[in-house]
């Protein structure tokens, strides 16, 4: 399967630099899996409800990367705009 094309917006780069080292390693691994589409079940890329054109994938149960789709002359790519804490309140209690 063709890898996803990605670009890192400056907001994502700043948020990544502000993360603790251990989390940075997890984020970079998740980005690699996202590009290669090798862990779709754990990353669970999904469109965020109520947010125009924003998508997210999981790094850990409480951390998400947020991105949007963009286009250039070569086609579509995912522009990563932020990474940070995010809880899923629709499932959080069912996990307990």
Annotate each residue in 57-96 with x if it binds another protein (CB under 8 A) or - if it does not, as one string: ---------x-x---x-x--x-x-xx-xxxx-xx-xxx-x
> Taking CB under 8 A as the rule, which mask of x and - marks residues 13-52 in contact with another protein?
xxxxx---x--x--xx--xx--xx-----------xxxx-
Beta carbons of 92 and 62 less than 8 angstroms apart: no
Cβ-based neighbour number of residue 78 at 10 Å: 21
Rounded CA gap, 37 and 4, in Å? 7
Q: Which is nearer to another protein, 20 or 41 (CB)?
A: 20
Q: In 10 A of CB 59, how many CB atoms?
A: 24
Q: Please list, residue by residue across 19-45, b when 16 or more beta carbons sit within 10 angstroms of its beta carbon and e when fewer do.
A: beeebeeebeebbebbeeeeeeeebee
Measured from the CB atom, the residue of 41 and 52 that comes closer to another protein is: 52
- Residues of this chain that interact with another protein (CB under 8 A) are 3, 5-17, 21, 24, 27-28, 31-32, 35-36, 48-51, 54, 66, 68, 72, 74, 77, 79, 81-82, 84-87, 89-90, 92-94, 96
């Amino acid at each position: 399967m063709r890898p996803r094309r990605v670009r890192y917006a400056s907001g994502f780069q700043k948020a990544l630099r502000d993360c603790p080292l251990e989390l940075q390693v997890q984020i970079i691994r998740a980005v690699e899996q996202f590009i290669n589409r090798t862990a779709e079940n754990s990353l669970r890329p999904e469109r965020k409800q109520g947010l125009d054109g924003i998508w997210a994938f999981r790094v850990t149960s409480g951390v998400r990367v947020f991105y949007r789709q963009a286009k250039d002359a070569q086609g579509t790519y995912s522009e990563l705009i932020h990474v940070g804490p995010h809880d899923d309140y629709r499932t959080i209690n069912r996990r307990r």
